[in-house]
Chains A and B, each alone.
Chain A
Amino acid sequence: MYDIGDIIPNEAISSIQPGTNLLVRGPPMIGKHDLALELLAKGFDDGDGILCVTTNDSATALIDSLSQREVSLDRDQMGIVSCSGQEPSQTPDSVDTEFVSSPSDLTGISIGTVKVMKYFSNRNISSVRHGVLSVSTLQQYLDARSVFKFLHVYTSRVRDTDGLGVFTLHSSTQNEEVVNTLSSEFDGIIELREVDDDAREIRLTGIPTASRSWCTY
């Protein structure tokens, strides 16, 4: 089981079954990225591998934001597949990083994740939390159909290898149909929404014991 503690408030769920794929979705700037990072960083204490496919942040920025969350961050437990295209010439300090030229190079991304997983298994790490941050950037480079197909294969990989998948996706009223189509590939959906000024709510659906009701976040 993957421990998520009390990251999702008001939920009876504090751990997630291996092989589960979660989608964090909500409007831009509401905190999806931070929530996804929390779900991933929680794995450091349990000795899980943290594999991030990053399309926006540079590998260095990602390591920094994970370090801020987790004091016990062990760099051997981290691996990054960076396709943000904004990279320094050297790889970040002691974190296994694979570079892919563009988010549209899906084969390159899959090869990168395989290499990171080999790195983990050489260190006897078998439980892996996968972060794909973010699906919205993939959408800027690829049509919805290609993104959908890639998500189908990637979530199947997470399921078959007993991992935990955490993906982020912007939602808005303009792209509701596409968001719903892409969402069908996930076991659980974590939604974030804004209610009043500065107040946010969260709900989890799709997971059998989830309460499915909105609560303050």
Chain B
Amino acid sequence: MTQSQSPPVVLVVEDEPDIADSYELWLTGEYEIHRAETGEKALSKLDDLAVDVVLLDRMLPGISGDEVLHEIRSQGHSCRVAMVSAVQPEIDVVEMGFDDYVTKPPDKVELRETVEQLLVRSTLDEELQEYYSLVARRSALESESSDEELAKKAEYRTLVERIEAHRESMDASIPDLTSDTDFIGAVREIDNQYTTGDENDDPSQGN
């Protein structure tokens, strides 16, 4: 989840220093950037830092990018992972659990767009959370009042307008879900099994 005060945290996992240098240069300014040369170091950084996006090289010395990704998912880290590889992904990779796939070497625009899109997606859960609370509140009002009473209630009218506005802004931030990785990534974003780290239960939203 992104904090408005501090810049989003990006972890670059790349064994070739020149390549890591260019990523850092392209992303510098807007993000807090950390680097790891091996999968082992990447995993220990993930334990210590609240990482938003991981740029993960697939070919690493020691444990491979695929194994790092597997570990990230099984340990339940809530970061988004873009796999960076010179090899085009095979057909059956949807299960691997990455959120995006970038062909190496990426250019500046491509890399920045990838990170930006993953950060937009990271707001999805929060937005849906807010949307759910509004719709749930509307249902509560509807169940306790008649249609005539509702029409007179200012709170209800405001709520209906807010729901409409929220829905529009949310649809704008959800990517086109024709893409398989975007669809799975969006579900992973809302899946409690992956978001146990940032539970924000609000008892006032009960039903």
Chain A residues packing against B (C-beta within 8 Å): 104-107, 109-111, 114-115, 117-118, 142, 144-146, 148-150, 152-154, 156-157, 159-161, 176-178, 180-181, 184
Contact = CB atoms under 8 A, between A and B. Distances in A.
A176 B143 contact: yes
27 contacts: A104-B192, A106-B191, A106-B193, A107-B187, A107-B193, A109-B187, A110-B184, A111-B95, A118-B94, A145-B132, A146-B192, A152-B131, A153-B174, A153-B177, A153-B187, A154-B187, A156-B174, A157-B177, A157-B183, A160-B178, A161-B177, A177-B139, A177-B207, A180-B142, A181-B135, A181-B139, A184-B139
Contact of B183 (A104, A145, A146, A153): A153
A106 B176 contact: no
Contacts of B94: 111, 114-115, 118
A161 to B, nearest CB: 6
Contact of B177 (A150, A156, A176): A156
Contacts of B91: 118
Given A110-B184, A110-B187, A104 B193 contact: yes
A180 B139 contact: yes
Interface residues of B, number: 34
Contacts of A150: 187, 190
Closest 4 CB pairs of A and B: A110-B187, A180-B139, A149-B190, A160-B177
Nearest to B128: A149
Interface string B160-201: 000000000001001011101001101110111110000000
A203 to B, nearest CB: 18
Contacts of B49: none
